[in-house]
Amino acid sequence: MVAFFARTAADGLPITSSLPGHSLLMMVNLAIGLTTPPVGAGLFVGCTVGKTTMEKCTPAMLIVLFLTTCILWFTTFLPNWIMPRERDFGGTPRRSARTIGWRSRNFRAHVATGNHRLFRFDFAAPFLLSSSKTWEGSEMRRYSALIGMAILFCLLPAFSGDAVVPADAGGKLTILFTHDLHSHFLSDRVPKPGGGHASQGGYARLTSLIGQERAKAPGRSLLVDAGDIAMGTLFHTEFREEALELRLMGEMGYDAATLGNHDYEFHPAGLAAMLRTARSRGGRLPALVASNVVFTQDDPRDAPLKAAFVEYPVTEYAVLERNGIRIGLFGLMGRDAAEDSPFASPVTFADIGERSKAVVDHLRNREKVDLVVCLSHAGTNPVKSRSED
């Protein structure tokens, strides 16, 4: 039970809604320390190392730390605590009492020197040890080994790390990904190879498919889109006034999306109007991430979009948690797409390589995410050297 609480608190899981995991760990340490000092001390070490050292230590360093801790416990503190010894230079049996911790009879070890040193430990917790029992020789060594094992179990959270996914989560995440929806709300009639027509596509079918995939991974799916949500059907003529694309994506349960080059075809002012409309209508909306958008300093043509990015908001990155996994998402407009977005002017787009490095570094080292997902509206090519993705 001690190991369970220590592992849970060290991983930062909310055992109670009002008490942080680290504070709970310290309270458990205090409670256990009142009854069994070595277990409490081990728990304290696990807490401290797990929260402060894991972020800076390599696996090799942690192994050395673990072995060093074991050696210190078994060669210095543990023997001195559990088996105090006295030298009798005169050969006359002597009797002494050694107080451990507080000055309390419940923590007093009575040592009878001589050929059969008997040890009696009266602990405050009767369920751990009975005050009526004594231990000799090999029994004491077995008891020492049990305490050592308890210490090792308490140290387990120190080597779990903050980025470890809880055991019941299994570290699994299903990412559902779409792109270039282009306002295709309704299904299309397409010719069949053998003649006639078939109906395919549309948001209704897409919603059903999303629901089927989510049912296979309850509570551990992420739904994202990589841009170009507009332009392609007559529905996009209501882009600014109704924001149908973004609002429907919210109703479908999209977690995050980025902007594509065609989403700028109503100019920066038109995109700004769409963002404001979507926000003003209420309802669930996906998070929007755009990491390499560059606004001008004094051109009035992109001022409305710059303000709308703040109001919606459209951010450089977003951090979501799903199934115990901390996920960092960011969005990019690729070089090919940027060259094919003349209506975005005067907005420009920074180099995707440099921006990616900066954002990923921030997500990993500042936000401490477990997984980084890039929503990239960039070109692909069978020739790897020519492919942006």
Residues of the chain within CATH 3.60.21.10 domain(s) are 174-386
The closest of 82, 63, 84 to 74, measured between CA atoms, is 82
pLDDT of residue 13 exceeding 50, the answer is no
Segment 48-79, tens digit of pLDDT: 544 444 444 555 665 765 676 666 555 554 55
Confidence band (pLDDT; 50, 70, 90) for 93? very low
Q: Which residue has the tokens 């901390």?
A: 326
Q: How far apart are CA 250 and CA 281, in angstroms?
A: 12
Residue from 261, 264, 269 nearest 303 by CA: 269
Predicted local distance difference test score (pLDDT) of residue 380: 82
Average pLDDT over residues 312-340: 96
Whose structure tokens read 């009526």? 132
- Checking if the pLDDT of 327 tops 70, the result is yes
What are the pLDDT digits (tens) for 346-370?
Answer: 999 999 999 999 999 999 999 999 9
Average pLDDT, the chain: 73
- How far, in Å, are 36, 141, 145, 154 from residue 151 at the CA level? 11, 15, 10, 5
d(C-alpha 269, C-alpha 261), whole Å: 14
Question: pLDDT tier at 97 (50, 70, 90 boundaries)?
Answer: very low
Question: Which burial class, exposed, middle or buried, applies to 106 when counting CB atoms under 10 A from its CB (0-12, 13-18, 19+)?
Answer: middle
174-386, CATH topology level = Purple Acid Phosphatase; chain A, domain 2 (3.60.21)
Model confidence, pTM: 0.58
Segment 291-322, tens digit of pLDDT: 999 999 999 999 999 999 999 999 999 999 99
Instruction: Render 181-230 in DSSP notation, one character per residue.
Output: -TT--S-EEEE-TTSSEEEE--HHHHHHHHHHHHHHSTT-EEEEE-S--S
Q: CA 184, CA 202: separation in Å to the nearest integer?
A: 6
d(CA 162, CA 172): 17
The stretch 97-116 carries a mean pLDDT of: 37
Res. 80: pLDDT tops 70: no
Backbone angles phi, psi at 58, to 5 degrees: -85, 165
Q: What is the pLDDT of residue 64?
A: 62
Which residues sit opposite 257 in a β-bridge? 225, 288
Kindly report the number of other CB atoms within 10 A of residue 288's CB atom: 23
- How confident is the model over 78-101, as a mean pLDDT? 43
Query: Is the preceding omega at residue 346 within 30 degrees of 0, hence cis?
Result: yes
